[in-house]
Structure 1
Amino acid sequence: MAAQRTETTPRRHRDPRVSVGGLLRPTLTSLLCLGLGAPIYLVGFGLTLDDVGEAGLNALTGFLLADLVLGVAACIAVGPLRRSLWGNVLIICCGMVSSFALPAWLVATKRLGERRMLALDLAVVAAMMLGVWGMYAWQDSVSAPYQSEVPLPSIVTAAVAGLITGCGLLWGRVRGTRAALIASLREQARTAELARAEQARTREAEKRQARFDERRSVARDMHDGVSHQLSIIAMHAGALASRDDLAPAQIREASHVIHQAARDAGSMLADILTALREPVDAENAGQQHLQTLRTLRSVLDSAASRGTNIVVVRQELSTAEWERNPARTASLLRMLDEALVNAGKHAPREPVHLDLQRLDAAVLLRVRNRLPDDVDETVLGTGNGLLGIEEQAMLLGGKARSGPTADDHFSVEVELPWT
């Protein structure tokens, strides 16, 4: 028994509104042209009968019949052939000999004009003038014995036909230009939207990279701090192991130093594990990035060499407190340096107020500068520096915030746990 075939791909159903709209518009166009062409034909038939009489009408029977047949065919075909180049050209040819086809001829002329092809437009105008001139010249020669009035010269009729054709083509060209402009604007809007989306994705990738770099930087600084504490432990433990003549007071002091160093190393190790909660790539995992611990004075001197005018409001951290937390000291000094660089970049001529305050179990760093009156538009910033400050503070269990204040200043505040 043949296996039953199951259909896994859903069938695509046509939107009924699209199919109905696609059939309704051509049908309405054809019906409208038939409705307008019939009275035009009847008016022309009556004028011809009044001009040449029944005898002349009998001589023009073939022409009038061709006018009716070609006109009806052109009006019916003008709807379905809306996108056909040669189909619309044939409809214009029918308009040369048929008054019934005049509405369909106008629609076809407008469509050809929408293509905005100068050579085609000139060819249509020339063919229309020649065709109308030849047709009316033949008609006048056949009906001349029966005409009661002198007809207009064929060249005048051809000129009027060429003028009307040119107007129809110009109308279509205007509509085609407008449609092309709208399509171009829509394409530009779509391209701009794609560019904005790509820019947003790039910006998000830059933020992730900045956070990743800050985590690695914090981890490197903490690695230096842990190494320092372990060297203290090794030195004092080695002294205890190799010396048997130490006094009890010296043994207690060395044991206290080992205990304090072990506790600080454990705290730093916990911070390292927090900072490295995202994996580091294998290529750079084995590289050691050692950074010398800078002092507060070196950071301020470096900023001053860049032209930054620093005003120290207060500095409440002692040398012992700086040395007791080497890893956090390095991170705090890096954040201070980044804040000073940011102030010097965006407000180079404004004094920068530095406030380093000691709280109960934390340190508060505040860097403030007045917002300049004239903003240098050529200075470009990515915002990664301030983002890095926030990331470092968060990894160390603190918090950071930056932005303009109510008194027209820009402030960067960092609060870190400090024991």
Structure 2
Amino acid sequence: MSGDDSARVPRDVPVPTLRGRRWLLPSAVAADLDPDAERNGRSGRPRRTVRDWIVDFGCFLLAVGVGIAAANTLADDPNTPHALAVADQWGGALACAAVWLRRRWPLGLAVALIPVGLISTTSGGAGLVALFTLAVHRPFRYVAWIAGAQLALLPAYFLLRPDPDLSYPVALAVTVLLTSAVVGWGMFVRSKRQLMLSLRDRARRAETEAALRAEQAQQLARESIAREMHDVLAHRLTLLSVHAGALEFRPDAPREEVARAAGIIRESAHEALQDLREIIGVLRASDSDDGGRPQPTLAALDGLVAESRSAGMKVVLDNQVADPDAVPASVGRTAYRIAQEGLTNARKHAPGTEVTVSVRGAAGDGLTVSVVNPAPSGEVPSVPGSGQGLIGLRERATLAGGRLQHGDEGDGGFRVAAWLPWG
């Protein structure tokens, strides 16, 4: 559909459902829906489809039929001079031939047929076809000017060329109604085409938005997996680093202690590899719920503390939640990760200190989690870290609807405390 206000659609989304049926569509609509297949390499104009050829041939036959009927009327009218009848028929023949140009120059053809229609009765069919084409392919302001000019000239035309079969008022009224019907029909076809393109545009936009939403969901899932990877692997790898550092600084340690540290290193490495396999499996799987161990909740906090104690940490657990299983899974998982990251940081930066993990709360009041360690005594081994753990914890707490605070205590210790909504 040509015209300066025609509906336009995106060019980067394929339309597989219509490519096999382009011949059923007008060429302009098919070009908008599938421009690469419909553009001519030389002129850049849309190629005519089979439907276009059928419609154009039908319009040509209509114009010729109206012209022949008008020519027969002229032959039976003794008041029409022979020279005028010949000029009328030549003008009608040229107007009918010009119908084939209606798609390329709809406005120019409609303007050119206005003076031709004043001297040629046989061009009336071609004029109606040109007016209909203009209404389909151009905005209403052009149609209003052309149709208005034709209607304004009708009284003078029927005064100069009265109809032999109809009276002046009847001929004038019939012509006005016919012109109005042609304009209305053309505007209806134009609106229908614009509606079809608008619906196609909406469908394409919906597909694009769905793809963007899927991509965004995938990105969020990857970020969530990255946070899980940091929380899980940082805990395991810190054990490796601490015990490997102890073996490095104490090469003369008793054999039993060396064997115990080596066992912890081996077990932590095995657990880290297992966790890494599960995370990679989630990335490869189409559904992250298909495999892997279930995510930890608050009920798994006792196991985390026991694991830290087996690694040589001094941990005091103050869990005042009567029923950990009653805590919502998302809140319990966030509390578990906060405690896990707090123990990991304490093991890195305050080895040998007694760490206190406190959990308290109830439904309706929220859940409070805190991890506190005093200042370390003596030199602390340097353990590499990314510094992103606490940032990730704050983001977790915020996403859960809670808040998290961390900072140094007055005696040189460190405290991580969070409040999470519960019920």
User: What TM-score results when the alignment is normalised by the length of structure 1?
Assistant: 0.51
Give distance in 2, aligned partners of 1:301 and 1:70: 95
Contact 2:136 2:187 in 1 (8 A): yes
Give distance in 1, aligned partners of 2:199 and 2:229: 45
Q: Choose from 192, 199, 216 the match for 2:230.
A: 216
- CA-CA distance at 1:276 after TM superposition: 6.9
Contact 2:132 2:183 in 1 (8 A): yes
Give distance in 1, aligned partners of 2:48 and 2:194: 25
Q: 5 Å matches for 1:18-417? A: 18=47, 21=50, 24-25=53-54, 28-29=57-58, 31-33=60-62, 35-48=64-77, 52=78, 56-57=79-80, 60-84=81-105, 85-115=107-137, 117-140=139-162, 152-153=167-168, 156-230=170-244, 233=247, 238=252, 240=254, 255-272=255-272, 299=298, 323-324=309-310, 340-342=327-329
Aligned residue for 1:82, secondary structure, equals coil
Contact 1:38 1:100 in 2 (8 A): yes
Quickly say closer, same or farther: Cα 1:338–1:266, change in 2 above 3 A.
Answer: farther
Give distance in 2, aligned partners of 1:318 and 1:27: 81
CA deviations 1:290-309 (Å, max 9, x no partner) are: xxxxxx9x94699xxxxxxx
Quickly say closer, same or farther: Cα 1:83–1:92, change in 2 above 3 A.
Answer: farther
Quickly say closer, same or farther: Cα 1:172–1:181, change in 2 above 3 A.
Answer: same
Contact 2:67 2:121 in 1 (8 A): no
Aligned residue for 1:203, secondary structure, equals helix
Q: Which protein has the larger Cα radius of gyration, Structure 1 or Structure 2?
A: 1
Give distance in 2, aligned partners of 1:29 and 1:21: 12
Quickly say closer, same or farther: Cα 1:89–1:185, change in 2 above 3 A.
Answer: same
One-letter code of the match for 1:323?
R
Contact 2:132 2:185 in 1 (8 A): yes
What's 2:289 paired with?
none
CA deviations 1:293-335 (Å, max 9, x no partner) are: xxx9x94699xxxxxxxxxxxx9x79866733799x9xxxxxx
Give distance in 1, aligned partners of 2:154 and 2:88: 13
Quickly say closer, same or farther: Cα 1:319–1:41, change in 2 above 3 A.
Answer: closer
Contact 1:96 1:128 in 2 (8 A): no
What's 1:290 paired with?
none
Give distance in 2, aligned partners of 1:97 and 1:189: 50
Aligned residue for 2:100, secondary structure, equals coil
One-letter code of the match for 1:167?
A
**Ranges in structure 2 where 5+ consecutive residues have no aligned partner:** 1-37, 278-295, 316-323, 333-395, 397-423
Give distance in 2, aligned partners of 1:237 and 1:218: 29
- CA-CA distance at 1:102 after TM superposition: 2.8
Give distance in 2, aligned partners of 1:266 and 1:326: 15
One-letter code of the match for 1:72?
A
One-letter code of the match for 2:265?
A
Give distance in 2, aligned partners of 1:19 and 1:126: 30
Give distance in 2, aligned partners of 1:323 and 1:262: 16
Quickly say closer, same or farther: Cα 1:156–1:165, change in 2 above 3 A.
Answer: same
Aligned residue for 1:78, secondary structure, equals helix
Contact 1:133 1:157 in 2 (8 A): no
Give distance in 2, aligned partners of 1:93 and 1:338: 90
Quickly say closer, same or farther: Cα 1:72–1:211, change in 2 above 3 A.
Answer: same
One-letter code of the match for 1:68?
Q
Cα RMSD of the aligned pairs, angstroms, is: 4.6
Contact 1:130 1:158 in 2 (8 A): no
Quickly say closer, same or farther: Cα 1:64–1:199, change in 2 above 3 A.
Answer: same
Identical pairs, percent: 20
Quickly say closer, same or farther: Cα 1:124–1:161, change in 2 above 3 A.
Answer: farther
Contact 2:91 2:123 in 1 (8 A): yes
Give distance in 2, aligned partners of 1:271 and 1:344: 25
Give distance in 1, aligned partners of 2:109 and 2:95: 10
Aligned residue for 2:84, secondary structure, equals helix
Quickly say closer, same or farther: Cα 1:24–1:261, change in 2 above 3 A.
Answer: same
Larger CA deviation: 257-266 vs 26-35:
26-35
Contact 1:116 1:173 in 2 (8 A): no
Give distance in 2, aligned partners of 1:206 and 1:318: 27
Give distance in 2, aligned partners of 1:220 and 1:43: 98
Give distance in 1, aligned partners of 2:56 and 2:258: 96
Give distance in 2, aligned partners of 1:107 and 1:318: 84
Larger CA deviation: 32-41 vs 260-269:
32-41
Contact 2:87 2:120 in 1 (8 A): yes
What's 1:364 paired with?
none
